[in-house]
Structure 1
């Protein structure tokens, strides 16, 4: 299946010339039911309200070591480093992210189909799913760069053509996440509001935004309002833990100036009922390794 050129009505207007008001979300956060998967009813109800769930010990200690070795192998492979799917830090030239990693790593290809991962995504989204994006993230000690506050859906809507926030991300920690080594921060409940951003999307914007995003970030005023209403919480926990979070939740991370590195596997699942159309606020779609346009549902 390929990208359709059908023009879908834009319910989440963004990348405007002047500031716009936040838009109340009309789509649910949880589309499925308790009977649809492994997430219990209480956790599912909390996910609907808060926009995220934490699953401790999703991977065993042995599995964590296996995946750490795989990340080391990928980062040290010169062919991988030279590939356009690999993003390096501007200042240090160290590997920051490797995209479409479920197509270059057999181990991660198995992980995206693992029932512990796949069945949770299916349950929250209430449908079959495909991988919209996969990557591994490296945040080394002392010089790991964070990510400014943002909604992933804002970018996926504007630059990829994702019609609605019927997508979830799973971040699987391969190192301990402390409060002090750049762990992901979220604003619980903020997924219920879509925050439009100001500014026209430049051509090939992804080449700059993957190292430091300047277009598609919310204003200080909007961040302040959301933080005052929803507060800020942080994903912490031992290696092997996982964070499942809504596409539209406001989140970000600080720099890591500690000696303790932080790395994770990041998988975005999109509903097969929410496949991409033409970008809503960009001159052309981003490459397929960042936003897949192969919509075949994942099978175990």
Structure 2
């Protein structure tokens, strides 16, 4: 259960790491589930620029029902405390960050994407990253800007890398992200607030607010850095109807 100290830390910094959340047996089962997924093909799969290396599996619970059991009750209870609300899963994915080539995720805000692409109205949402491998300083850990979740992002600080092009959900999950934060903005906010490297042991969870600025680099090591992402939204913040919604494997409606 989330402690008062952890809740205070999360509210201040916009992220929280809890070690040993999943035990050895649970991790072995998840490994087996992911191995089966990796052998399949699905429209929701995203590959790196080489067209071979798996980058992401979106909506794994829609492909293998066993993934529906992964958000165990403890996670749901903890997220309810952090968001002070009942929740549902907005997005579910696995990022592989493969050895010797898992590509970058540029600086971005999840909520900015969810607002622009899915119509999410407010940022009372967060993500839980389950570390399936040890995350070290070498194999491309996520970087966070502490406290950035309390600063709104103006459109003027965003680069739309696909300006004028037709909407395509793949633009929101490739190494060339659709909405990327401008360098000048990142330089300024990091100088003011600092930067945190989210290193964690296998089995830990890394929780971060939907507006917390984050990024990760290229994995140049021979070590994998697989992470399951469960993104939760406040039930009172359900997505409205929009003209061109992303597929269900990208955003639950």
Query: How far apart are residue 151 of structure 1 and its match?
Result: 0.3
1:15 matched residue in structure 2: none
1:90 matched residue in structure 2: 49
Query: How far apart are residue 214 of structure 1 and its match?
Result: 4.0
Separation in structure 2 between the aligned mates of residue 163 and residue 201 of structure 1, nearest angstrom: 24
State yes or no: 1:133 paired with 2:96: no
1:122 matched residue in structure 2: 80
Out of 8, 16, 32, the residue aligned to residue 53 of structure 1 is 16
Pick the structure with greater CA Rg: 1
State yes or no: 1:101 paired with 2:60: yes
Out of 224, 232, 238, the residue aligned to residue 269 of structure 1 is 232
Return the TM-score normalized by structure 1: 0.79
Return the TM-score normalized by structure 2: 0.93
Q: What secondary structure sits across from 2:237 in the alignment?
A: coil
The answer to whether the 8 A contact 2:133-2:202 is kept is: yes
State yes or no: 1:181 paired with 2:139: yes
Cα offsets for 1:7-58 (capped at 9, x unmatched) = xxxxxxxxxxxxxxxxxxxxxxxxxxxxxxx210011011100001101000
Out of 70, 74, 83, the residue aligned to residue 33 of structure 2 is 70
The answer to whether the 8 A contact 1:149-1:217 is kept is: yes
Q: 1:201 to 1:164 in 2, by over 3 A?
A: farther
State yes or no: 1:190 paired with 2:153: no
Cα offsets for 1:130-166 (capped at 9, x unmatched) = 1100011111111111200000000000111000101
Separation in structure 1 between the aligned mates of residue 190 and residue 35 of structure 2, nearest angstrom: 36
Q: 1:278 to 1:229 in 2, by over 3 A?
A: farther
1:171 matched residue in structure 2: 129
The 5 A counterparts of 1:30-41 are: 38-41=1-4
Mark the runs of 5 or more structure 1 residues left unpaired by the alignment.
1-37, 294-300
Out of 282, 287, 290, the residue aligned to residue 247 of structure 2 is 287
**How many pairs were matched up?**
248
State yes or no: 1:43 paired with 2:6: yes
Out of 169, 184, 209, the residue aligned to residue 172 of structure 2 is 209
Query: How far apart are residue 285 of structure 1 and its match?
Result: 2.1
Query: How far apart are residue 278 of structure 1 and its match?
Result: 4.8
Separation in structure 1 between the aligned mates of residue 166 and residue 51 of structure 2, nearest angstrom: 25
Mark the runs of 5 or more structure 2 residues left unpaired by the alignment.
none
